[in-house]
Structure 1
Amino acid sequence: MKVYIETYGCALNQGDASIMQGIIEGRGHEIVNDASIADAIIIVTCTVIDTTQQRMLSRIRKFKEKYNGKKIVVAGCMASAQPGLVKKVADDAILLSPLEVISIVDAIEGRKTYAGIKAGIERKIDISMNIPISDGCIYGCSYCITKKARGNLISYPMDLLYEDIKKAISKGCREIRLTSQDTASYPNLPKLIEKVASIEEDFRIRIGMMHPLSAYKILDEIIEAFKNEKVYKFLHLPLQSASEKILERMKRGYDIDIFSEIVEAFRKEFDITLATDIIVAFPGESDEDFNETIEAIKKIEPDVTNVTRFSPRPHTPCWGMKRIPTEIAKERSRIASKIVNEISLKRNKRWIGRKTRVLVLNEYKGWRVGKNDFYKSVFLKKAEIGKFLDVKIFDAKITHLEGEPI
């Protein structure tokens, strides 16, 4: 059977897609890059905000209209969080929840699907791989539909993850991305990092997003784990808001002081690359609340800040909350985006003239693109993919650095 896969959304979805591809090929089926020649079409969906949801529905509808008669499998978060919505546009679509990805072959071959652990399994081996270490979450943020989609925390066995990663490294993978909704809630994350880093070969480990409250509980241990030379000095720690009132409405469980303490502790040890996220125009956010967040961002100076306008999601406590007028939301987003871009450029300019080691990972618009040990994207004119290079940085943009091999 020929199978086409189209994937959207977060690193977890990317990891799930690599699992499905590995299992499909391992069972003798063929992955193709053209839906028109496929016998089955898989779309791995995201529904984190409304605009993404609409895009997913549009793609599903197009597949249904253009390839009626082919098997269509809708995986990802829409399959579990909004099955009724999917069925409205493709009534015969096969739904595969995030916990059922290991039974993808059962889905395309017409058998009943089942949930199972995402470790000790086949995966598509690539130079960079997202490895889901858990699914679900121990928290209940008031705006988050992903909780509905992926449920409560399920962590995958450390020994099996280790064996999967060891196999991937032996077959040429050079960047392992430990992925979860909240990596810091994985039982003994520092031990997992230590175990993975013990694998022989020169490769890098990226630790995915951490909930500040989870990171705070294991702060000393996680900083110690980050000292390993194979671990990118990169911290993804979502702030969402600096307003105590808004954080309470979001049910985040921490305040700006806890967030700042984590950042300061990491910066004391490393020249850490900090990525964060903020939601603007959350229900009830006053000008004062918004300004608190902006001032916090100016003070903390994250290297990367993802700015998102609040988008109400069904099945969440925020669904019925009174929304802030669109004009105000757009203006706050514009103000925030301008400021965070200025900060990103400022942070990147610090690298001009510096020498750094870069792992070359892919090609983009004629450039070779890699990551340095601080997870900064570095663009090079000429480089061999999969190799480490010593590079001198000669320019900086908002999103990346430009360099040349020494």
Structure 2
Amino acid sequence: MAVGVAAADEGRASAWWERLQGERLQIHGFASLTAVKTSANRFFGDSPDLSWNFIEVALNASYQLNARVLFAGQVLARRAGDMYDGTPALDYGLADVTLDETPTRRLGVRLGRLKNPLGLYNETRDVPFTRPSIFLPQVIYFDKVRNMVLSTDGVMVYGETSTGYGDLSFTLGGGQPVVDENLEWAFLGDDLPGKFIPRGVAWAGSLWYSAFQERLRLGLSGFTSVLGYRPGVGLDLGAGETAINYLILSAQYNTEHWTLTSEYSRLPLEWQDYGVDFPYRKTSGEGYYLQGAYRVRPGLELMLRYEEGFTDRKDRDGTRSSALLGGAVPPGDYFSKIWSLGVRWDLNPHVMLRAQYERHQGTYTIAARENDPATLVEDWDLFALQLAVRF
């Protein structure tokens, strides 16, 4: 009798769990493994000898508490050469509350660790299936400072409305950026005995227009933050600060077989109070790309992209920036010009294979944490293969 009652209870619990997961709770995950080979320079590991050090494993979940409140989060373990060691971390974790909703508009607020609404791909850059290629255009979506631009701990207001001329949406949020050692390598050139700490509120926002059932999308997005540096003992460097202002203009056009995409970014940086021996004071970085994707048939897609990026838009060949360090860093480290060709093959809805070839001139997109800038080769090639699965 007790066994029968227990079995009945177990059956009811199982049915309840299945019903709960189908109606309110969604659990998904993905994993990817990528092999990277370069003709020179390290990219996500020891790529001149073939690197297998680009691995992503994630589990995400969402729970719809009621019609107005949604909880969502994702834990990601990411191994990317010397920049990320695979330690599981919270990618995002938030509560989404709808404040007002009608058939033509919606207004809400999100709290927690939030994805920054930057460009077309930042909010979905974690998932291999939602990227347009194995590697995003690095002149805009920098992997070497990924955590800072990916998410912010804070609050964000969002809204959207439908009109007879298309759909408009906006986001505006503030909080604290996610800071790690990669920022020291990117903004100070080394892992120095000290650390960056956020100063004040970092702001992120976006404005989007879409028309013709999202066939056309136009967007403006941005991020601004100030990072204070707390130097370690014995370091001949002042307690300075680095101001970051990041702006992206985005455009995308979709047809049944084609997707044409272009984005342009400006990245003004300003260094203050690091001392007279620190070489940099102010730069205005720039990047853009043109990208076309062609769907040959369902499950098979080709991609072609050209991108350019510059540490300083007024020093496009890098000679002036190189001279600040007495030529210790070659001019090619301050710009990148990249051609990319890729193919995507979806074996089924859960398994994807990708291949990508890139021809590089310059090393602006390469992480100093993985390379000695003085030994970088200006002209180099990259080839990558990726296997990704999801559930």
Establish whether TM, by shorter chain, passes 0.5.
no
TM-score of the aligned structures, taking structure 1 as reference length? 0.27
User: Which structure has the highest strand share of the two?
Assistant: 2
Relative contact order, CA 8 A, sep 6+: which one is greater? 2
Please, what TM-score do these two structures have when normalized by structure 2?
0.28
Please identify the structure whose Cα radius of gyration is greater: 2
